[in-house]
Amino acid sequence: MKRKGLLFYTRLYFKILAQDLKSKMSYRADFIISTIGMIFTNIAGFVSFWILFRNFSTINGWGYYEMLFLYGFSLVALTPVQCLFDNNWSLRQYVYTGDFIKYCFRPINLFFYYQSEVFDIKGLGQLAFGLGTLIYSWIKLGLGFTPLMLVKMVIFLLTASLVMVALQNAAAATCFWIQNSFYILDLVTKFKDYAKYPVTIFSKAFRFVFTFIMPIAFIAYYPSLIILRPDEVELLSWLSPLIAVVFFFISYKIWMFGAMKYNGTGS
């Protein structure tokens, strides 16, 4: 994308975002309740770790604070898909009713136009909780801090985010061909719960699945190794940014292919 195009889409996105936030702020009670619900959902995950490690000091060599680090890392990494791509959940409804046709007549990128229409602000509660968990575990592990480590964290958090966004895009796009596509999207979303665990605790069969078929291991495990266990970094960790970009590009092409083939008949 040329620089002019990038600036155009950036300005346009913030205009659309402002309108969406204004509409949401008119229902403040709904926003407050949903945000609190999101925070308590993540607190429940935190408590589950605490209960688990009251009985086991380590799980396959992974201690409590290392697991907590992965949990916080995954929450932060999943925030973009929660906030910026939540409209994927409504895609099948627009397709079935025929309302998706309205997105096909604007002289802007169809994928951008559709995704930018919704910003799920309650995902910021998840971001806050994830950052708090990440910082707390970071301090407890005594990882230290340098500008280089910060750069690595940003790069690999973005890497992890792209993987989950790609998974959701590809799953949501199946609605262009499959009538009951909700179950595919729901299944992919539920798989993300396994992202907060190190892939090494699973059997070889599941390691293969979580790495090469349903690559949730790239949402937390492989990227976080760069910071968490720098002496045990695997090749896939260093390759994860490239893998994430390629995977996202493929999912974007699948989404756009389905959208361009859409005939607007609805159901």
Q: Is residue 210 included in any domain, yes or no?
A: yes
pLDDT of residue 267: 44
pLDDT of residue 115: 93
The domain total for the chain is: 1
Q: Is residue 116 included in any domain, yes or no?
A: yes
Calculate the alpha carbon distances from 74 to 24, 192, 194 in Å. Answer: 26, 9, 10
Identify the H or E element spanning 58. Answer: strand 58-59
Mean pLDDT by groups of 10 residues along the chain of 267 residues:
68 84 70 72 74 72 88 91 92 91 87 90 84 92 89 93 94 91 89 86 89 90 90 88 94 94 65
Q: Is residue 14 included in any domain, yes or no?
A: yes
Q: Is residue 266 included in any domain, yes or no?
A: no
pLDDT of residue 137: 92
Q: How far is CA 184 from the centre of its chain?
A: 16
Q: State the first-to-last Cα distance of the chain, in angstroms, to the nearest integer.
A: 36
Residues 255-258: contacts with CB under 8 Å, at least 24 apart: 255/111, 255/169, 255/170, 255/172, 255/173, 256/110, 256/111, 257/173, 258/173, 258/174, 258/175, 258/176, 258/177
What is the pTM for the complete model shown? 0.85
Residue labelled with tokens 């999912």? 251
Domain with 130 in it: 3-261
